[in-house]
Amino acid sequence: MRDYFASLGDSAHPKSSDPRARAITVFQELLLVSFREFSVITEEIILSERRRFRGEIIHSIESFAKRGAVRNLRTLGRFQKEQAGLVYDALYKAMCIVPPPPTAAPAPTLFTTGEGHEEKPETRVGLRTFRQFLSEIATWGRDEKIVMNGFQVGDYFLLALNLFSFLRTLPATY
């Protein structure tokens, strides 16, 4: 493919005795074939196909970004790649629902290493975004209101109640 595109400026008929035929380039022949074969393609068809495949393309781009982000992690800790991908999805969803607060960009010197390579700045999230993230991955992190005995119970009580229920399920180690 690379050789073909490198030869677009070459003569399409270098051995022809006719100087006009020798003057025709590979690019000119490609242009002629494209006009002949694709003359039925209209702007409406192009827009229709873009709309038709938009979802698949966006999904592919998001999947590629996720795989790259997970692959570039220094360590996955005790997570497997699939689990890290699910955590990434939950974080991305939380950042879409409750965008992190805008922060001032650090000085440009913080972005470059000694070799001059650009590094992506660290993503920081606010408390509201983090709460949304927790609610995506843990039931105890959800912002739910419970009514017990006619009284509305607050978030911290719910957290303590869930923590207590969780601790009761652990085996005794004494």
Cβ within 8 Å of residue 79, ≥6 positions away? 87
Same domain, residue pair 172 and 128: no
Same domain, residue pair 104 and 154: no
Whole-number Å distance between alpha carbons of 113 and 104: 20
108 is a domain residue: yes
Question: For the segment 105-152, what is each residue's pLDDT rounded down to a tens digit?
Answer: 555 555 455 555 555 666 778 888 888 888 888 877 776 666 666 666
Same domain, residue pair 174 and 128: no
Question: For the segment 13-70, what is each residue's pLDDT rounded down to a tens digit?
Answer: 999 999 999 999 999 999 999 999 998 999 999 999 999 999 898 888 888 888 888 8
List the alpha helices (DSSP H) in 17-80. 19-23, 26-37, 43-71
**How many domains are there within the chain?**
3
Same domain, residue pair 161 and 127: no
What integer pLDDT is reported at residue 45 of this predicted model?
A: 93
28 is a domain residue: yes
45 is a domain residue: no
Nearest residue to 130 via CA among 85, 87, 165 = 87
What integer pLDDT is reported at residue 51 of this predicted model?
A: 92
Same domain, residue pair 126 and 86: yes
* H or E stretch covering 114: none
51 is a domain residue: no
Question: Mean pLDDT over residues 152-166, rounded?
Answer: 60
Residue 171 has pLDDT above 70, yes or no: no
What integer pLDDT is reported at residue 174 of this predicted model?
A: 42
User: Which segment of 15-24, 94-103, 153-162 scores lowest on mean pLDDT?
Assistant: 153-162
Domain limits for position 13: 2-37
DSSP label at 10?
S
What integer pLDDT is reported at residue 153 of this predicted model?
A: 58
Q: Are 158 and 166 in contact (CB under 8 A)?
A: no
Same domain, residue pair 130 and 157: no
Q: Are 9 and 26 in contact (CB under 8 A)?
A: yes
Same domain, residue pair 104 and 159: no
Same domain, residue pair 124 and 86: yes
10 is a domain residue: yes
Question: Mean pLDDT over residues 95-109, rounded?
Answer: 71
54 is a domain residue: no
Q: Are 62 and 89 in contact (CB under 8 A)?
A: no
